[in-house]
Amino acid sequence: MERIQKLISHAGAASRREAERMILAGRVSINGQVVTELGVQANETDEIAIDGVVIGKQPAKLYFLLNKPKGYLCTVKDDRGRKTVIDLLPEVKEYIYPIGRLDYDTEGLLLLTNDGALMNGLLHPRYEVNKTYLAKVKGQVMPESLEQLRTGVRLEDGLTAPAEVRLMEYNDKAGWSKVKLIIHEGRNRQVRRMFAAIGHEVVSLKRTGFAGLKLAGVSRGRYRELTGDEVAMLNHIAGKPGKENG
């Protein structure tokens, strides 16, 4: 017997934390009986359903690379009815989750999957997964400020790890700079806060790369499925052998 949140996450239907929220929200049933307590256990032969849809034991693994536009939330559902990144994907019966978050106003590369193990691996700080951002910021970013971003800036949740930073463009007339950053941390609103710490407001922010994948070729609001080789590469990065995806 296992706790049902564990069975749900093993089936790839949701992360364990998300499964707990679903249970508390009364969305989960065992053999047709709704459960709302986190301690309830079941075994592999019990029929577990989320919103009335029985979860499969080996659901097909799905992997999408989305070019998220601004104005979409990185959640599965919004209680205020706002648009979410899931609205941009094809309708599938599996539960698909974004791997990490982009702010409502950030655009660019977002991976989504129902592969909970891969998601957890890619989000784990231990694997230092690279994320590339292109930030357009107000003012001229001087070399000393770029150096500060590179070595680390102090945010309220601590010093940032070393980053790769490059000034791509400075528009003198319009008074903005474009800076490319490669970071591996994934703190909340990290890039915006890093620029705020050196006195530059971010005007727009786009993620152009994640874990070796690039946005190129996928236009805004569109998605593509990952290839088997890409999934294997991600599994390798996330420290898990890619045997099922080879």
Residues that bind ligand URA (CB under 6 A): 102-103, 106, 189-192, 205
Half-sphere exposure of 94 (CA within 13 A, CB side): 23
Alpha carbons 94 and 100: distance in angstroms, whole number: 18
Task: Give residue 172's identity as a one-letter amino acid code.
Answer: D
Q: Which is nearer to ligand URA, 191 or 226 (CB)?
A: 191
Q: Which is nearer to ligand URA, 76 or 197 (CB)?
A: 197
- Going by C-alpha positions, the residue among 107, 72, 86, 91 that lies closest to residue 18 is 86
With beta carbons less than 8 A apart as the criterion, state whether 45 and 37 touch.
Answer: no
Distances (CA, A) of 233 to 14, 113, 228: 22, 15, 9
Please identify which of the residues 103, 105, 115, 229 carries the catalytic annotation: 103
Alpha carbons 156 and 158: distance in angstroms, whole number: 6
Alpha carbons 133 and 177: distance in angstroms, whole number: 13
Residue 103 annotated to the active site: yes
Q: Which is nearer to ligand URA, 123 or 232 (CB)?
A: 123
* Residue 102: CB minimum distance to ligand URA, A: 4
Q: Which is nearer to ligand URA, 27 or 200 (CB)?
A: 200
* Residue 103: CB minimum distance to ligand URA, A: 4
* Residue 224: CB minimum distance to ligand URA, A: 21
Helix (H, G, I), strand (E, B) or coil at 49: strand
* Residue 191: CB minimum distance to ligand URA, A: 3
Alpha carbons 105 and 109: distance in angstroms, whole number: 13
Name the residues annotated as catalytic: 103
